[in-house]
Amino acid sequence: MKTALSVSARLLAASVCIAGGSAAAQAPIKIGEINSYKALPQNLVPYKQGWLLAQEEVNAAGGVLGRKLETVFRDDNGNPGDAVRMAEELLSRENVDILAGVTLSHVGLALTDFAKQKKVFFLASGPLSDKVVWDNGNRYTYRLRSGTHALASSVIGEAAKLGKKRWAVVYPNYEYGQAAVAAFKEGMKKVQPDIEFVAEQAPPLGKIDAGAVVQALADAKPDAIFNVMFGSDLTKLAREGKTRGLFEGRDVVSLLTGEPEYLDPLKGDAPVNWIVTGYPYANIDTPEHKAFLAAYQKKYNDYPRLNSIVGYATVKAIAAGVQKAGSTDTEKLIAAFKGLQFGSPFGPVVFRPQDNQSTLGIFVGRTAVQDGKGVMPSGAYVDGAKLQPPEEQIRKLRSAP
């Protein structure tokens, strides 16, 4: 009798273990996503839409390792301290497997350090500061979007073709703006040694006195202008500059301005014929992008923004990384993301083993106004792999204390 009971007990225990194991195997892969939803709605609404579209596609195809993806979204209020608190909560209360997200650079740097301290995998979606992968980079942090150096480098070729000697620069006075101008100056001096920078305006982020800035730029009488202002600062600068004739007869090279997020608010006041980085979504003639555009428009009855691509590609990268790792274990993910290749609406993308930076590229083109609306009608795609500093420089930056 004792033997029979013992056997029954063992069989019952085994069946419970099997059932429990099956349930665990089907538990969703949880991603903790942190971003500045309230602070940057023009960027983050399309970002989240792109994210959810990709997640829906992955799950409809059977998920990853037989498990669905599930995302827990948190708002960092544009504040590094809040971002760290959200990350702590996501790990301890929500038991997420992976951390991802961030748009603002200073928030990205805070979570880069958090990932290192907590030894947790973190895929930074879009912070532009290169310190995320270079000076402050660590083995736990990867970044999807190309950063400041790549953005500035992408326009050097077109800027040099202008053959202009006297340049003025205008940028927001914080890490992103400062780094972008430094990279642009360095790149231009290499290809055009006689270049002169005759004026520099660096208003605080979000607090531009557009009239004073435009007047100071005009007084310097530059041949061309390099602009790094974006968001509401760009809107004010473009409108005030147009009113005062600053851009008449002058070439302008401008980062980010060709993104629909920043052109849309300007409407008919959008700049014409500026050389810009951006997203010519209506005229990217590749199978990958056509499929993405059709799916996005069908789901949301709207056109995508660049941040739609960033959110979508982040999820696709996570799915590919987990699939390659065969697990959500941090160490296995770190190994899997080294050299990981995955598909994006811009084509194949690779995470570079030397600095954990993806090769997602950048479109460079010119702006126009069509039907009373600012657009970037077309653009040449520059592979992100072609926009990075020399390997020796990256090694020095990554090894810095």
Q: Are residues 275 and 291 in the same domain?
A: no
Whether 134 and 108 have beta carbons less than 8 Å apart is answered as no
Q: Are residues 112 and 168 in the same domain?
A: no
Write out pLDDT tens, residues 63-112. 999 999 999 999 999 999 999 999 999 999 999 999 999 999 999 999 99
CA distance 317 to 337: 9
Q: Are residues 191 and 317 in the same domain?
A: no
Average pLDDT, the chain: 93
Whole-prediction pTM value? 0.92
Q: Are residues 83 and 213 in the same domain?
A: no
Whether 395 is covered by a domain: the verdict is no
Write out pLDDT tens, residues 356-378. 999 999 999 999 999 999 999 99
Span 229-236, average pLDDT: 95
> pLDDT class for 400, splitting at 50, 70, 90?
low
CA distance 294 to 301: 10
Span 253-261, average pLDDT: 97
Whether 303 is covered by a domain: the verdict is yes
> pLDDT class for 23, splitting at 50, 70, 90?
very low
Span 169-186, average pLDDT: 95
Task: Provide the token pair at 69.
Answer: 């993806």
CA angle 257, 262, 267 (to 5 degrees): 105
pLDDT higher for 343 or 395?
Answer: 343
Whether 339 is covered by a domain: the verdict is yes
Find all residues with CB under 8 Å of 78, minimum gap 6, and list them: 36, 38, 39, 40, 104, 107
Q: Are residues 94 and 242 in the same domain?
A: no
Q: Are residues 160 and 62 in the same domain?
A: no
Q: Are residues 376 and 236 in the same domain?
A: yes
Whether 306 is covered by a domain: the verdict is yes
Output the CA torsion sign for 111, 381, 236, 44: negative
CA distance 256 to 263: 9
Residue 219 has pLDDT above 70, yes or no: yes
- 252: domain CATH number is 3.40.50.2300
Angle between helices 80-92 and 105-118 (to 10 degrees): 40
Q: Are residues 172 and 263 in the same domain?
A: yes
Residue 72's DSSP bridge partners are 32
The percent of residues above 90 in pLDDT, for the chain, comes to 89
> How many domains in the chain?
2
Amino acid at 141: T
Residue 60 has pLDDT above 90, yes or no: yes
CA distance 190 to 334: 36
The residue range of the domain holding 320 is: 25-146+285-360
pLDDT for the residue numbered 175: 87
Q: Are residues 279 and 289 in the same domain?
A: no
Q: Are residues 178 and 273 in the same domain?
A: yes
Q: Are residues 278 and 264 in the same domain?
A: yes
Whether 397 is covered by a domain: the verdict is no
Task: Provide the token pair at 195.
Answer: 């270049």
Write out pLDDT tens, residues 316-339. 999 999 999 999 999 999 999 999
> Quick one: which of 305, 327, 312, 351 has its CA closest to 143?
351
Q: Are residues 123 and 219 in the same domain?
A: no
Whether 60 is covered by a domain: the verdict is yes
CA angle 337, 74, 349 (to 5 degrees): 25
Whether 18 is covered by a domain: the verdict is no
